[in-house]
Chains A and B, each alone.
Chain A
Amino acid sequence: TQLLEQSPQFLSIQEGENLTVYCNSSSVFSSLQWYRQEPGEGPVLLVTVVTGGEVKKLKRLTFQFGDARKDSSLHITAAQPGDTGLYLCAGAVISSYDKVIFGPGTSLSVIP
């Protein structure tokens, strides 16, 4: 059974602080996605990373895919209240046919 773990599970920080959340597995992924979900809504895609070691930036968000394609991180610089939400990573597992597995998520609260 392929599993994705995310840490921390909950994070509460002050506006302006930096943070990093992690997504880990023992499985190798062909690609990995990060989604953000706000209360009462469905997840929305932030980024897809495909190549081991790849780094992508989306304004104040920096995403990194591990060299071995088993893990990923999301770093937010100068967090803002609008960053509040549930951050989900989702991996496409090479050994499974056409399947994407979601992690349990990191719930981020940015306090003004």
Chain B
Amino acid sequence: DARVTQTPRHKVTEMGQEVTMRCQPILGHNTVFWYRQTMMQGLELLAYFRNRAPLDDSGMPKDRFSAEMPDATLATLKIQPSEPRDSAVYFCASVFGGVTDTQYFGPGTRLTVL
């Protein structure tokens, strides 16, 4: 049963600390998305990659957020320094094909910045 995995599932940190979230897409999927979900804003696209190359990161605050795919089995999202307003659930999703194909979401990382 192929699934997208995300670690950690929960993270509590203090303002100013670095946070790294990891995602393992489904094997063979060539497109990976990072989303942030909050009650106020809903599900927002932060960035996405195709064949490990960044295609769009316009939804991501550039000064503190960075997203990478060191290899086809790992995507990372880093926040440095973290701020309380970054508290949210961060989802990774992967797709075999284009953005209009089925996105398979991971279980999310719930981030709380104190």
Contacts and interface: CB of A to CB of B under 8 A. Distances in A.
A11 interface: no
A88 B44 CA distance: 12
Nearest to B95: A100
B103 A45 contact: yes
Contacts of B43: 43, 88, 102, 105
Given A45-B103, A92-B100, A98 B55 contact: yes
Interface string B42-84: 1111000000000110000000000000000000000000000
A44 B106 CA distance: 10
A100 B107 contact: no
A105 B106 CA distance: 18
B8 interface: no
25 contacts: A33-B102, A41-B105, A41-B107, A41-B108, A42-B4, A42-B91, A42-B105, A42-B106, A42-B107, A42-B108, A43-B43, A48-B100, A48-B102, A88-B43, A92-B99, A92-B100, A98-B55, A98-B99, A99-B45, A99-B56, A100-B99, A100-B100, A102-B42, A102-B44, A105-B43
A35 B48 CA distance: 19
A31 B100 contact: yes
Interface in A8-38: 30-31, 33
A99 B103 contact: no
B109 to A, nearest CB: 11
Given A88-B42, A102-B44, 16 more contacts: A30-B100, A31-B100, A33-B100, A41-B108, A42-B107, A42-B108, A43-B43, A44-B105, A45-B102, A48-B102, A99-B45, A99-B56, A100-B103, A101-B45, A104-B42, A105-B43
